[in-house]
Chains A and B, each alone.
Chain A
Amino acid sequence: MSESTRLRPSLTSTTTVASSAKACCHTSPQHTAGIDAPVVALVGAPNTGKSTLFNALTGSRVTMGNWPGTTVEVSRGVWRTTLTAPTCDCESCTCVSDDHPLAITLLDLPGAHSLDAHSPDEQLTRGLLQDGPVDERPDLCVITVDASRLAHGLYLVAQVRELATRVVVAVTMSDIAAQRDVTLDTARLSRELGCPVVAADPRRRTGFVALATVVRTALADPVPAPRPTPITDDDLVLDDDRFTWLSDAADTATVASGHDRLTLSDKVDRWVTAPVTGPVLFLAVMWAVFQLTTTVAAPLQDSLDRFFSGPVSGAATSLLTLLHLHGTWVEGLVVNGLVAGVGMLLTFVPLMALMFLLLALLEDSGYLARAAVVTDRLMRTMGLPGRAFLPLVVGFGCNVPAISATRILPDARQRLLTVLLVPFTSCSARLTVFVMLGTVFFGKYAGTAVFGMYVTSVALVVLVGLLLRRTLWRTMGAEPLIIDLPAYHLPTLRLTGAVVWQRLRGFLKTASGIIVATVCAVWLLQSLPATGGQSFGHVPVEDSVYGVAARTIAPAFAPAGFGQWQTASALLVGFVAKEAVISSWAQTYATEQPQPGQAGLLGDQIRAAFEQSSGGHPLPAVLAFMVFLLAYTPCVATLAAQRREVGLRWTVFGVGIQLATAWLLAVAVFQIGRLFW
């Protein structure tokens, strides 16, 4: 098990992120091996398999991927070390395979090339390893180093070896090194570095017993003397000393080198990052993702929809009849509230699973790092570095972790701008609504309609970014792109499956938490009469508190062609979470016309509502609605994440921009569109 420790980086200063490794372990004992257990920190350059190793050692599920900046927080878990190999093949093995097991609290720190801290996540790593009191630092650091580019990871080793701490180097990516004819002598490297070195393969889960053995041996030994350095305040002299030291170590330990040999990855990159083929391939990949997502998932969705609106609703009604609750408010809550709302939401599980699978494959294959190169020029027009593309891509999955991922950016103003732009990336929750409306209004062109919303999303990010850059951030410079390209990997079933399950579980958690609460709140408001003469639970929805509130704000959307109260109410609920928009519609229409089996007609009812509110122009109206849904505030969780990263003032500023952009664009789309449709 593991838990993420969120340490709030200051917008203007990065010094506040430093914390104590041991103190943070003591705050939540269920994620540690106990107060007296040794604390081991996993550190290393980005994309060296650190988080994969952490997950494999602790049986946890922290975010991992084949691209830099995956870890932006500290995760901790319990590593139950043994000195002999387990005899089983359990996924998260808890079998005791020797007489001397030792539980270790393991920390997964954000990726860092050095302890010089160019960004808040690197500052966090520095704070835990170097700036805190000596007795609060981890007992040992395991530094992951990529065998295929050894010198690249040794600068951090040089710096950590200058501290009074135990160090073990875990050499990863040996398979990639072998493909490139790079052969590493770990014994020689150990002698050169003055610390134990062991090969481990987190992706295939090998070398763990050897790693546990050297870690436990090192923990039993006294803290070694730090690596001697020149006595000087000149950073350049210190750097020269480190580079000489690590170059000597790498040259001595690398007994055969095929570093300069061109690989298949290099040949692929000539097409993938090229001026014409790069952007074309990028758009084709994104289009294929959304086309596949909608066409493959649609039949599964229909089957689940029929299942929930038929047998499940019928069974719930029969059960409630047996309990003499037929026709009561309990039946309304269960059948029209929970079953119709949550059931409709769960029909999107296949869609989300497929979407997460395709994105995980793109991540694990190494393509997304290339996509950052392709989009760099576009990002730079907004004053953002290519690296800002990474949190924005994360935003297409979910805006909340994307806000956290902005910490990989070194400049505070670039982080702020990116935090304000992330809500315009179309998260997977909005995808559920787009797919439903696309299917209802655009039929076989649903995939293209959804893809169009993603193109609009990218355009919104660029246009709002340009607007802010030309007004508020006129003096902001752009960091040059420097991105370390990971080798292309053939995605592994275990890793891809773990990432998909982790994200799907997050989606389901939202569904069972916020959504159920929202569905119940909507049902309650729909059951409360706004006028006298009607009783609780027996009120037409348009006369309920919910209906009256929605009718009050509905006229504001009339210029955009969706001024009917049902749509306005869905947008209100969508402010809490976009996943709740469809469930809110399902509840509203089920409450309006509670005929048996009517839930399957939800699409027809929505189509009729748009037809009516748009004066016979439903297509521009629904497009305007989709644009509004894309641009306005994603959810309260995103607002909370924004407040944590940039404070309340900028969060409120962002909400203002989102609402203004959403309304203006929606009105423009409808008013222009109705001239043609």
Chain B
Amino acid sequence: MTPGMDLASAPLDTPLTLLGVGASTSRQRLATLGLREGASFRLLTRTIGGGRIVLVGGSRIALSRDLVRLLRAEAA
């Protein structure tokens, strides 16, 4: 298990660093959107269904709950 916390437990509006994307099959798609290991980002909003809106590199990416639970991060 990658250390840190999953995004469901991570605070909003706090600078975070992505540690890993778990067993997600969406690794490459996330990477093309800027969400790769070592990327700095912030969580902006909790969305309906337990998802989050992530601010990374100027992009706002909406992620669903299952993905949010797979991604791990630590405070930057």
Chain A interface residues toward B at CB < 8 A:
113-114, 116, 118, 148-152, 155-156, 177, 180, 182, 239, 243, 250, 257, 259-260, 262, 265-266, 269-270, 273-275, 278-279, 373-374, 376-377, 380, 386, 479-485, 487
Contact = CB atoms under 8 A, between A and B. Distances in A.
9 closest A-B pairs by CB:
A481-B64, A149-B58, A377-B49, A480-B67, A149-B59, A485-B60, A273-B47, A259-B58, A113-B32
13 contacts: A114-B28, A116-B32, A148-B58, A152-B34, A259-B55, A274-B48, A278-B47, A373-B51, A376-B48, A376-B64, A386-B64, A480-B26, A485-B59
B57 interface: yes
Interface string B21-45: 0001010111111101000001011
A40 B9 CA distance: 47
Contacts of A118: 29
A251 to B, nearest CB: 10
Given A269-B45, A278-B48, 15 more contacts: A113-B32, A114-B28, A149-B59, A150-B58, A260-B55, A275-B49, A373-B48, A377-B49, A380-B64, A386-B62, A386-B64, A480-B26, A482-B64, A484-B33, A484-B59
Interface range for B: 20 to 34
A484 B26 CA distance: 14
A380 B65 CA distance: 11
Nearest to B42: A260
B48 A152 contact: no
A155 B28 CA distance: 11
Contact of B29 (A113, A152, A243, A376): A113
Contacts of B48: 273-275, 278-279, 373-374, 376-377
Contacts of A480: 24, 26, 63-64, 66-67
Name, among B45, B53, B61, B64, the residue most crowded by chain A CB atoms within 10 Å (CB to CB): B64
B58 A266 contact: no
Contacts of B64: 376, 380, 386, 480-482
A150 B34 CA distance: 10
Contact of A274 (B45, B63, B67): B45
B34 A273 contact: no
Determine the main DSSP class of B at the interface with A: mixed
A551 B17 CA distance: 71
B25 to A, nearest CB: 8
A262 B44 contact: yes
Contact of A485 (B24, B29, B32, B61): B61
Contacts of A273: 45, 47-48, 53, 62
Given A113-B29, A239-B31, A485 B62 contact: yes
A259 B49 CA distance: 27
Contacts of A259: 55, 57-58
Given A150-B57, A481-B63, A485-B60, A155 B32 contact: yes
Given A273-B47, A373-B48, A376-B64, A114 B32 contact: yes
B59 to A, nearest CB: 4
Nearest to B51: A481
A305 B75 CA distance: 66
A481 B59 contact: no
Name, among B47, B61, B67, the residue most crowded by chain A CB atoms within 10 Å (CB to CB): B47
A390 to B, nearest CB: 13
Given A376-B49, A377-B49, A482 B33 contact: yes
A265 B60 contact: yes
Nearest to A273: B47
Given A239-B31, A266-B55, A482 B45 contact: no
Contacts of A148: 58
A116 B59 CA distance: 20
A250 B53 CA distance: 22
Contacts of B24: 480
